[in-house]
Amino acid sequence: MQISSCSLSPAVKSRLTAAGFHFLSELRGLSPSHICAETGVSQQEALQVLQAVRGGASGGGASVGGASGGGGASVGPPPSLTALQLLQEEQSQRSIFSFCSQLDATLGGGLPVGKTTEICGAPGTGKTQLCLQLVVDVQVPVCFGGLGGQVVVVDTEGSFLLQRVQDIAGAVVKHCSLLVEDDEQRVAMTTFSVETILSNIFLVRCHDYVELLAELHLLPDFLSEHPRVRLLVIDSVAFPFRLHFDELSQRTRLLNGLAQQLIAMATSHNVAVVITNQMTTRLRGGQSQLVPALGESWGHAPTIRLLLQWAGTQRLATIFKSPGHPGATVQYQITSDGFRDADQSEQPPSKRPRTHTVQSATGQRDSNQSSAGQRDSNQSAAGQRDSNQSAAGQRDSNQSAAGQRDSNQSAAGQRDSNQSAAGQRECS
């Protein structure tokens, strides 16, 4: 590691470079007094330098993480992995499904664990509803295709109403009880109830941004103590950060640190991080646009960005940032049971609606891809509709859920074959 990039005071750095040291490793094994004599820094500064040398030796990644607020600093550097290992790891990881099969399909099985996802939308589009649905869904027992995990919810708006969680939890429990086929599932259902769902949700209420920062500083420890936590929800990040900031540079700095902490938590504790963001109006060239709040640089923080919006009387969810999925728009609805597929009678629009996000270069290509992807999803939706027609009432949803699991399996199968291909190439 270069001296110029480590966290020492500029005065010490310039002394060190003046004395001919350019890499931290060159200082290893020197005594403090030796460094003092060589460079002319004080004894205390020399001790700091040596501390930096030890920190740097134990892993460059840790000190970089430390610079962002200490979120991942206590965790050792992850061992380097090959892409194949990462792929296998990702495949062994289940996703959190949303009960909206179209959204799950476009996300490749649901919300990925170990990544950060941002849900943006104007008020009333269903951000909180999707969060509440995920909070319940992540707890679905493993034998039903869920994760059987726990949840930490950081509520900054006061909109986490347990009355609504109970509604959604009740619907999910009922859904699962209708799916029971074998003994394992029967046993799982004995403990899967609304009460257990509520007891597995860890709730924190943060009233301002300092409390939020404090909570995020302490969360890694909490996650270590509760290894079953698979989902962290922050609803919303925007609310505390849009007040009390006269100086925007300070806000940007804090938000960048926060983003680093969230990413560190997502990867090191293997949780899905879901954050919600508000929308704001931006004036550009005399036209007003609706864009996610918190500024341009925050847009880099989440891995996946979902935009929820109204189009006439339809609710639409658009993926507009994701490294792994083509951009796509799906329709959804919010029923008394929670976040669901839209009624099949209404066709999703054939064109991706304007999302008002800046995607100048990739925009065109994206939209092509999305229309292709959408056609696929339409087909599958059509297939589903057929099966729905043959069955009736509650059984519909069972079948579609089963179908969904199948399609997941087939997707996994496909990925397996990819893997074997990769393996072969390795052998040759």
Partner 1 sequence: MDWDQLELHPRIISAVRRCALSVRAVLCVSAPDLQRLSGLSRSDTQQLLTAAATACRRHAPLPALLSRGFQSSLRLSVGCPILDELLRGGLPAEGVTELSGESGAGKTQLALQVCLSVQYPTQYGGLDAGAVFISTEDSFPVRRLQQLIRGQSCLRSDVPPSLISSLNFSDRVYIEHAADLASLQECVSRRVPLLLARGLVRLVVVDSVAALFRSDFLASDWLERNRQLLTFSAALHHLSREYSTPVLCINQVTDVFSSSDSLVPSSSTGTPTVAPALGLAWANQVMVRLMMWRLQGTVSRGDQSSAPRRLQVVFAPHLARGGRGAGVWREGVRGLTETA
210 binds partner 1 (CB under 8 A): yes
- Residue 319 binds partner 1, judged by CB under 8 A: no
Cα–Cα distance, 336 to 323 (Å, whole number):
33
| Under rule CB under 8 A, residue 311 binds partner 1 | yes
Cα separation, 63 vs 274, whole angstroms = 26
Work out the number of other CB atoms within 10 angstroms of the CB of residue 36: 18
CB of 240 to partner 1, least distance (A): 10
The sign of the torsion formed by the CA atoms of 258, 307, 89, 82 equals negative
Q: Which residues contact 409 (CB under 8 A, 6 or more apart)?
A: none
Count, in order, helices (H) and strands (E) of the chain: 15, 11
Work out whether 195 is an interface residue with partner 1 (CB under 8 A).
yes
Q: Is 239 in the site for partner 1 (CB under 8 A)?
A: yes
Counting contacts by CB under 8 A, is residue 309 touching partner 1? Answer: yes
Q: Does 43 bind partner 1 (CB under 8 A)?
A: no
User: What six digits make up the tokens of 19?
Assistant: 């004395």
From 19-27, 84-92, 213-221, 405-413, span contacting partner 1 (CB under 8 A): 213-221
Closer Cβ to partner 1, 195 or 376, answer by number: 195
Pairwise CA distance, residues 277 & 127, whole Å = 8
Pick from 1, 30, 87, 198: which binds partner 1 (CB under 8 A)? Answer: 198
Asked if 257 interacts with partner 1 (CB under 8 A), we say: yes
Q: For the purposes of burial, counting CB atoms within 10 Å of the CB of 119, is it exposed (0-12), middle (13-18) or buried (19 or more)?
A: buried
Interface stretch with partner 1, choices 33-41, 109-117, 151-159, 261-269 (CB under 8 A)? 151-159
Task: Show contacts with partner 1 in window 341-360 (CB under 8 A).
Answer: 353
**Residue 346 C-beta: closest distance to partner 1, Å:** 13
Closest approach of partner 1 to the CB of residue 31, in Å: 18
Backbone φ and ψ for 304, nearest 5 degrees, come out as -120, 135
The DSSP code sequence of 228-291 is TEEEEEEE-SHHHHTSS-S-HHHHHHHHHHHHHHHHHHHHHTT-EEEEEE-EEEEEETTEEEEE
Identify residues 96-135 at the interface with partner 1 (CB under 8 A).
Answer: 122-124, 128-129, 132
| Size (the chain), residues | 428
Distance between CA atoms of 268 and 13, rounded to whole angstroms? 31
Smallest distance from partner 1 to CB 296, Å: 18
Cβ 277 to partner 1, closest distance in Å? Answer: 10
By CB under 8 A, name the one of 20, 29, 312, 393 that touches partner 1: 312
Among 148, 164, 252, 378, binds partner 1 (CB under 8 A): 164
User: Cβ atoms within 10 A of the Cβ of 104, count?
Assistant: 21
9 interacts with partner 1 by CB under 8 A: yes
DSSP state letters, 26-90: GGTT--HHHHHHHH---HHHHHHHHHHHHHHHH-HHHHHHHHTTSTTTTSPPPPP--HHHHHHHH
In the bound complex, what is the minimum distance in angstroms from residue 51's beta carbon to partner 1? Answer: 6
Mark 260-299 with x for binding to partner 1 (rule: CB under 8 A) and - for no binding.
------------------xxxx--------x--x------
> CA triplet 413, 228, 134: central angle to 5 degrees?
70
Contact pick of 24, 46, 73, 233 for partner 1 (by CB under 8 A)? 73
- Determine which residue in the list 31, 43, 199, 297 makes contact with partner 1, applying CB under 8 A: 199
Q: Which of 107, 120, 153, 330 binds partner 1 (CB under 8 A)?
A: 153
Give residues 370-409 in contact with partner 1 (rule: CB under 8 A).
Answer: none
Residue 7 makes contact with partner 1 by CB under 8 A: yes
User: With CB under 8 A, what is the number of residues at the site for partner 1?
Assistant: 73
Nearest distance, CB of residue 306 and partner 1, angstroms: 15
- CA 140 – CA 193 distance, rounded (Å): 10
Ordered DSSP codes for 353-376: PP-----TTTHHHHHHHHHHHHHH
338-341 and 328-335 as β-strands: parallel, antiparallel, unpaired? antiparallel
Give 213 or 402: the residue with its C-beta nearer to partner 1: 213
Instruction: Pick the closer one to partner 1 by CB: 39 or 384.
Output: 39
Q: Which is nearer to partner 1, 163 or 424 (CB)?
A: 163
